[in-house]
Each structure stands twice: as C-alpha cells, then as structure tokens.
Chains A and B, each alone.
Chain A
Amino acid sequence: MRITLRDIRKQYGKVNANDGIDLEISEGSIHGILGENGAGKSTLMKVLAGYTVKTSGTILLNGRPVEYDHPSQATRLGIGMLYQDPLDFPPLTVLENFMMGLDHGLISREEAYRGRLNEMAGHFGFHLDPAAPAERLTVGERQQLELIRLLALGVEVLILDEPTTGISSLQKQALFSALRKLAGEGKTILLVSHKLDDVEALCNRITVLRRGKVEGEMGLPFESKRLLGWMFGNELPPPPCFERRTEEGVMTLDMEGVSASGGRAGLSPCHVAVRQGEVVGLAGLEGSGQGLFLRLAAGLERPETGKIRVAEKDMTGKDHHAYRARRVTFLPAGRLEEGLMPGLTIMEHYALHQEGAMMIHWPNAQRRAEQGIERFRIRGSPLSVAESLSGGNQQRLLLALLPANPSLLLLEHPTRGLDMDSVQWVWEKLMAYADEGTSIVFSSADLDEIFQMADRVLVFFNGVVVKDVRTCDTTMEELAKAIAGKG
C-alpha cells in the first residue's frame, strides 16, 4: 500500500508537534523516520495509526483520501502499529493473545489458531510457545507475537516504534530479516528510531524530522554525516566555549564503578567524578541511563556495584535523607508528580521546610512564602496550590525551596516545558549557585543547552557512559554521533 501524507498538523495546546508534514511512502519499502526526542516522530506515527487525531491534513492510501480516528479503524484499513511497549495481555498465553481480536464467535477455535500461529512463527523463524503466558516472554518475543498478530489481522502497513530497544542482538537479526521478508512480499514498513545504525542497516529510504517538520529525505546510499546534521541541526556552529575554573576544588561527587538495573537500559558500571562548582550536562536519548544516574547520585536508588562518595565521604547504600544531610538536592523532571505536593499551598510548602518546633508559625511561613514569591518571581500567592501554578512557576517554586547552600544539585530536565523567559531565569539562578561552589549535574534533551551551560558533558547510550568530555574539547557533531550510538 502506498501512503501519502499531506500537510499533517498536530497541535497540543500551543505546541506544534507536527507542523505541516508531507511524506510519501511507496509500497514494499522500508522507510525510516529519524529524529531527536520531541521531533514529532511518535506523534506522526500515532496519527497514522489512528491512536491520535490530527489537527489538520490529509492521509491518502493508494491515492485515496481516508479519515479515521481510532486504531481499530486504522487496522481495518490495513495499518497496524507495534508500540514500544507491546500492548498485550500479560497473564494470557501466547495463543490467547494471538486470538485476541481475531476470534469472534462464541466457541473459540483454539486448534485452528494454534496451527496458524505455529505456521506464521515458522515462516519468520520465530520460536514462540503457544502455551506460555505472555508475561514470561522477553520483550523481543512479545514483539514477535504482536507482529504476527497484526499480520494475521490483515495489516498491509506496519509501523514500528523503536523496535530495537531492549531486545537482544539475535532477536534484532530475526526481526530485521522478518521485516525484509515482509517488504519483499509487498508490505510497507515504517521504522521509527533514534538509532542511526539500525535505520541505516534496514531501510531503503530515510526521512528526518526536526521540530515537527521534515528536515530532509535521503535514499540509498546514506550519508551519516548529513543525516546527523539534519537530526541535531548542526547548521549552527556551537556557541563560543567559555572557560570556567573547574580544575581545583574537592570532588563533590565521586562514583566508582557504579552500576544499577532499572529503567529501560539500566546503568553499566561507570566512573564519574564531579568537582566543586562544576556544571555537568548529561546528554543522550531519553531513557539511556541519565535518570538512573541522577537518582543514584541522590541516594534514591541503590547501586548494585561500586562506591559513591559525596564530598569524599562514602555514602554507598545510604538513603536520600543521608544525602540530603550532606546537602545533596535532587529536582525531578516530574515537578508535580515527584517534586511538589498537589493540594498544598506555596505557604504550606514553606511551612514544611521550617525546622524544629512542633507548632507551625503561620505568619512566619506566610512571610517566607511572600519573600520567595518576590525573589523568585513566582506568579502566584502564598495561598496558591502547587497544581495551579504553570510549569515554569512550579520550577521556580522548587528552586525557591532549595536549601541555603547546596553542595550538589541534581536536576532532571530542569528547563523542560518552560518558556524562554523562565529558561533563562532558571539558568541565571543555577549559575549563581555554581559560582558559589555548588556542583550541578543536569540532564537535558537539548544539546544547545548543554553546550551553553555545562563545563563538561557525559553522553549516555543504552545505559553506558560512552563519552565524558569537556564541552570546549568537543563538537556538536561528535556528540550527535555518540548519542546515536556511532561514537
């Protein structure tokens, strides 16, 4: 099936996730969609799969315009999507999952479907035990099951969202050969990924999205350098690098062979030390281990191996409150989910930070809240509840609540979702802390931000710190390559 997308737009509030996308995908091709986090790839695929309703634009299948607003309608038209986290029913068996949505009558015809399942799995060289519960399968096997299920539903167009994350290299080979076989049989495959290597190895055409628009398109043979340029937009030279004093001073944070599991990628043993007053940016695709790294450094997660020292004191295995006592502060990305207490007012947040006395001195709390609101230019009153504040003001409140002189500030996406004014303001405050000797470690999806703010950058790929370099000694291109796993 040939797919044509014309001027697809999708707005979330003020944000244009897709900003007029035109795309042509020919029958029997494997088409790669590349882009950074937030480039609009997932939104576009969800629109195509009927999971999200587009704001405007036209979708044509074999030249005929179609309208649909539900995944099941898309499936009926022959479009199926394989999500990053397979949408199966974990307690049911492989066979039952396979039959889900296929078997309609009152009497289930297990035998017939068992035969079909085995035949299709055999066709692609997958090994699936029909009687095994889905929850005992690996991610790769669940993906194989979902793939077969979609094909049995009669899908002609297959969309795969980050299919190679979390599966073994053997499973990746099996998946790729299955996809090539399907393309050969005339199916149309769309592959969404951050991983340049995978896309280059599999696809015969690549489209790069950036900031909701098509940045460029390329057929075989691919030129990695140009693709990376399109992805990360290195048409702009990196901002001038400024030297800060980071050579002297004690080690605020010292991680020695620290590893942990959790998240999608876990964290492989890493050696990282951060000096007093140093600003370190964590780059990498979402979920490559940066979040886990920050939580380990905050004592919110326990390492499986290695030692963590804060200001030269061994803190391995201690809880976050022990880290807090050593003036380590963590600000999570989920400001309302993890950082603030919805239902509590600004004044109540301040009152909780009062030390000592059993009674709350409300006038005092009110005064301090008013001072904080004034100093941090929070748009709200002492009686505003946390959830009534905008994202930028929530972040200002979190910063306003920081202890007086933190030794280590760990920030997860500190400027995500903020307007330009707030971003600038937040960094002014953070830099003032750094000048006072506070070490700052922050994660960001924005390479420009890291170049501008950080003295040093760590690049995470699949749970491994693949690069640890001073921002002055590297280039945008080098980092982009490391992020895409070509370091």
Chain B
Amino acid sequence: MLLFPENSLPKELLIRGLFITGGVLCLTSLVLLVAGAPPWPAFYHLFVGALGSWSKLAQVLTVWIPLTLCACGLLYSFRVGLWNIGVEGQVVAGAIVSTSVLRFGLESGSPFFVIVLAFAGGMLGGSVWAILAGFLKTKGGVNEIFGGLGLNFVAQGITLWLIFGPWKRPGVASMSGTELFPESLWLPTFLSSRLSPAGLVLAVLALMAATWVLNRTRLGLALKGIGSNPKAAYLHGLNPNIYFILAMGLAGGCAGLAGAFQVTGVYHRLIPVISSNYGYLALLVVMLANYRVWGSPWIAFFFACLNVGSIQLPIVLKLDSSLSGIIQGALVLTTLLVYGLRNDRP
C-alpha cells in the first residue's frame, strides 16, 4: 500500500496534504467542542507547550530519539513485508537487558564502558525478542502480528515481575520502578537540559544506516524484493525465511537501542511503562512516512511535539493530555481516508 506514490505530482501532494490537515483540524476540533473546550486555545497551548522554549525543544528531542530509533527498525521489517507489531516488546526487552547490565556495572570503575555495554546489551535483547517472533513465523507458522503481540505481553510481564520481585527497591516494591541508578551511569546531557547528545547521534546514525542498508546493499534490495513478492524472490534465488529473520533482528536491534536509551537517558531505572508506547507510535510514524527513511524523522518530530505539547493541557486548560493521542489517531485516519477515496476512483 503506497500512501504517497513516488511519481505523484507535487501539486497533488499539496492538495492531499491540505485535505489531511483540514480533516485533522476538523475532527480534533469536533472532539474538543464535544468535550466543552475551545479548540483554538488548545491548539495554541499545544504548540507553545512543544516549541515555546529551548527546554521544551530539548524535551521534544528526548522523545524524538527513541521514536526515531524504533521507526528505523520498523523500516527494515516493513520493507520485507512484515508487520512487526512486537516492536513494543522489543523496546521493553532492550530496556530489561540494559538495566541488568547497569546493575552489574554498579561497582565498575568505568561508567563509560558500562553505558556502552548497556546499549549493546539493549540492542541484543531487542534483537533476540524480535528474532523469536521471526522464528515463530518461519518455523511455527504464527503470524508475526499475533506472535509479536503475545511477546509484548510477555515482556511487560517480565518487567513487572522484575520490578516487584528480584529488582525491587530496598524496603518497598512500587510501581515507580527499580531504584534510581547513580548519576555516573546516566547518559551525559546537554548543559542543564535533559537532552543527550549521544542519543541524538545514535538516532542520526540509525537513520543513516537504514538509508545505506536499504538503498545500497544487496540485503536492502533482497528485503524489498521479498516484501514485494516472496514467491518470485524465491524463484530468483532468495530464501525469504532467512531474510525475515535478518529484518526482524535489525528491527529488534533498533528497538532495543530505544529501550536502552529510555533506561540510561530518560528514566535512569526500569519502570513498568518503560517503552512509553513509542513502539506502537513508531508504527504510525513509519506508515505516515510511507515506509520511506527520510520521511520518518519529520513525522516522528511532529509526533514528539504533540506528545510533549499536550503535557501542558491539563494545567492550562483543564484538558486531559490524551488530546495528542486523538490528533495522532485523527491524522492516521484522515490520511488513510484521503488516499482510500483517491484510490477508489478507477
């Protein structure tokens, strides 16, 4: 399904864009009016809340980093034709492995080394979790959507068990997560903000790697060929099952990095909602970016703005912060609708 056909004219794209923006504004305003809130102030505060100051922007980028990492991973799995809905669990698996590395490194004299190891562990954890879903598909015939969803629940369960069991805080176990790591094991941040330059570099590197792999390597082309027509690809000498596993491994690795970032750069501990649903959100990001590498960071940035901007709403307008979710949902729905209506015409 191509939402933005490569050969469509800029004018057509513009018209579609206008339709989508209009649709989103209408739908969201309608929801706001029903809720008894004035639409325009809501949109205004959303904008100011996201980009009103440097510290807000730093917060937005801190959301953007894991979202982009997940999106980069999903590019591989979408390319080979898999719906890697298990990305959520892969973030969690990465966070768990990353946390355990940090716990082992508590006494270590070299925090830098421990943090690097934590990221490597996170990548490995995410990969293994994704490859598990891959094997369920290729060996067991379990659709990757169901396998992935199941593994999401398992990963979530393991997190809760760890927080309330083996890794509980001395004294009381609580939903607020494991004990905070010492600051030496936190990802260094930019001046006084919470933004981590290392995280930014990581996300940009992941984007560049995805561009390179998908456009320049045989692996990327093989993924595309199999995603397009696995039967034909097989006749051309490719073994789809091997590439399913490879793509899942890459996707899970990226998601695992996002999990490691959540632990080392944001929460500095393992919490029950360590993934912040960025995995699910990244699925929408990549779909809206039409499965293209360089569309994804922009959409991810927009989604991050919505997430951060909506934090203000309860304070300023006594509105629930779920407005961002409504806008994101409305965006996906109107995009699908606009393109669905277009494609209906013979």
Q: Which residues of A are interface residues toward B (Cβ below 8 A)?
A: 320-321, 324, 330, 332, 337-344, 348-349, 351-354, 357-360, 401
Contacts and interface: CB of A to CB of B under 8 A. Distances in A.
Interface in B228-276: 228-229, 231-239
Contacts of A360: 216-218, 221
Nearest to A401: B236
A341 B218 contact: no
17 contacts: A321-B239, A338-B229, A338-B232, A340-B229, A341-B229, A341-B236, A342-B228, A343-B224, A344-B221, A344-B224, A352-B218, A352-B221, A352-B233, A352-B237, A352-B238, A353-B236, A358-B218
Contacts of B224: 341, 343-344, 348
Contacts of B222: 352
Contact of A330 (B219, B235, B238, B239): B235
The 6 closest A-B pairs by CB, nearest first: A341-B228, A343-B228, A341-B229, A341-B225, A338-B231, A341-B232
B2 to A, nearest CB: 8
A333 B323 CA distance: 52
Assign chain B's interface to a size class. 10 to 19
Nearest to A403: B237
A383 to B, nearest CB: 11
A352 B225 contact: yes
Contacts of B216: 359-360
Contacts of A332: 235
B256 to A, nearest CB: 23
A360 B238 CA distance: 16
B244 to A, nearest CB: 16
Interface of B: 216-219, 221-222, 224-225, 228-229, 231-239
Contacts of B234: 320
A466 B168 CA distance: 76
Contact of B237 (A321, A341, A358): A321
Given A352-B221, A359-B217, A360-B217, A338 B228 contact: no
Contact of B219 (A337, A348, A353, A358): A358
Given A358-B218, A359-B217, A348 B235 contact: no
Contacts of B228: 341-344
Contacts of A341: 224-225, 228-229, 232-233, 236
Contacts of B217: 358-360
Nearest to B2: A343
Contacts of B221: 344, 348, 351-352, 360
A348 B232 CA distance: 13
B233 A359 contact: no
Given A341-B225, A342-B228, A343-B224, A357 B218 contact: yes
B146 to A, nearest CB: 21
Given A332-B235, A351-B221, 10 more contacts: A324-B237, A337-B231, A339-B232, A341-B224, A352-B222, A353-B237, A358-B218, A360-B217, A360-B221, A401-B236
Given A348-B224, A352-B236, A401-B236, A342 B229 contact: yes
A184 to B, nearest CB: 47
Contacts of B236: 341, 349, 352-353, 401
Contacts of A343: 224, 228
A395 to B, nearest CB: 14
A335 to B, nearest CB: 9
B224 to A, nearest CB: 6
Contacts of B237: 321, 324, 352-353
Contacts of A357: 218
A113 to B, nearest CB: 38
B246 to A, nearest CB: 12
A339 B229 CA distance: 9
B103 to A, nearest CB: 37
